[in-house]
Amino acid sequence: MNALCRLLGLQIQNSYQQRNFAPWCAGPRLEYFEVSSRIDLAIKEAAKSLCRHKVGAVLIKGSRVLAMSSNRYRNSPGVDFMNATFHAEEVVLRRFTPARGATIYVARVNRIGETALARPCERCQAALLERGVRRACYTTSTGFEVLKLTSF
């Protein structure tokens, strides 16, 4: 906590505020750092993809990583017919099915390594919602956005 506050240029005034996460140090800034580090995991997964559009996804519940994967070719010899899919979100859901209350982080990387728009398609949104995932964080060309999944 002290390191984070120093990074933000803030000072902790007493131990009570340190234990109870001082209100001027918690909130959106802390959330930003948390989401940013999890998006970085998805970016690393996207870089592993062999597809033209490199997309990676990470499923997290609380502070625990449940599953990670990148998108795959349908004809890849390493992917059997039953699990053949392009979308990283679907691969992650197949690796870890009970995802109630989890959050998925999706990232796309272009040819030169910059992040690009990775908003889940309607089919993936429906699959995520069906499995209980309530929030999707995805990259854009300028950073990331959060999508709250609700019924269509």
- Print pLDDT tens along the chain (152 aa): 444 344 334 443 433 333 333 333 333 443 666 778 899 999 999 999 988 889 999 999 988 899 999 988 776 566 565 555 579 998 899 888 777 889 999 999 998 989 999 999 998 999 999 999 989 999 999 999 999 988 75
d(CA 127, CA 87): 11
Q: What is the pTM of this model?
A: 0.72
Query: Closest Cα to residue 71, out of 88, 57, 89?
Result: 88
